[in-house]
Amino acid sequence: MEDWSLVSTTGSQRPAQVSAARRRTVIDALRRGAVPDSGLDLLATGLDRFEAALEAELDAVASGGSVFKAVRGEYGSGKTFFTRWLGERAKRRNFAVAEIQVSENETPLHRLETVYRRLTERLTTSSFPPSALRPVVDAWFYALEEDALAAGATDEELPGEVEKLLVARLAEVSRHAPSFATALRGYRAALADGDEATAAAVLAWLGGQPHVAASARPAA
């Protein structure tokens, strides 16, 4: 039986032992001739020169900015590896990440609603596999509540203060897509009422799903 050994190294640090489960995930993907979905830091070499620039761009996004980057290369040159490696770095910094493949039949680039739906379906974080849309939305509302409590809101004042923060933080989005803010409020109201079916349907609408129950559309 083959005995594979992988260690993780960073700079001058001593090698860190890698768990058997993590080794198996990486090795199984390599045997299939595929880029592993995780554990790319175990294999990455020669990418150190990009780290400073990429970290600066992640800093910009974390501060509310945006960055577009195109990666060019011949077939087999490591484009997928590089983008997944970057995605892993982003997830370690608490970003949500999505990877999709543009194709004429499944995800045509000129059908932006389909591209958006695929992105929400493939959304992932360091803690949640695809689709992580609901955990991301729930975490956002939780952060609103934490900020309201930190500002001194009482339990009685909390719903109103969260609503104020919701409106303030979605003000720019609301100018271009007011239905998005309406749907988030509808999702929150459905959860507060214990109406899981409506909450799930509103979230499906937010995710761009084409078939949403008619009863949930007023909330969205």
The tens digit of pLDDT for each residue in 93-115 reads 999 999 998 888 889 989 999 99
Domain shared by 144 and 209, yes or no: yes
Same domain as 89, residue 163? no
Q: Torsion angle of alpha carbons 106, 112, 116, 122, nearest 10°? A: 30
Domain range for 148: 133-219
Lowest-pLDDT range, 12-26, 48-62, 150-164, 201-215? Answer: 12-26
3-state helix, strand, coil in the chain (%, to 5): 55, 5, 40
Query: Which pLDDT value is given to residue 41?
Result: 75
Q: Given this model, what pLDDT does residue 57 score?
A: 95
Give the separation between CA 42 and CA 8, rounded to whole angstroms: 5
**Of the given ranges (38-52, 83-97, 126-140), which has the lowest mean pLDDT?**
38-52
Instruction: Judge if 214 and 138 occupy the same domain.
Output: yes
Q: Does residue 145 share a domain with residue 83?
A: no
Is-contact 141 188, C-beta < 8 A?
yes
Q: What is the pLDDT of residues 27-65, one digit of tens each?
A: 888 888 887 777 777 777 788 888 999 999 999 999 989
DSSP-derived letter for residue 148 is H
Q: Does the residue 169 lie in any domain?
A: yes
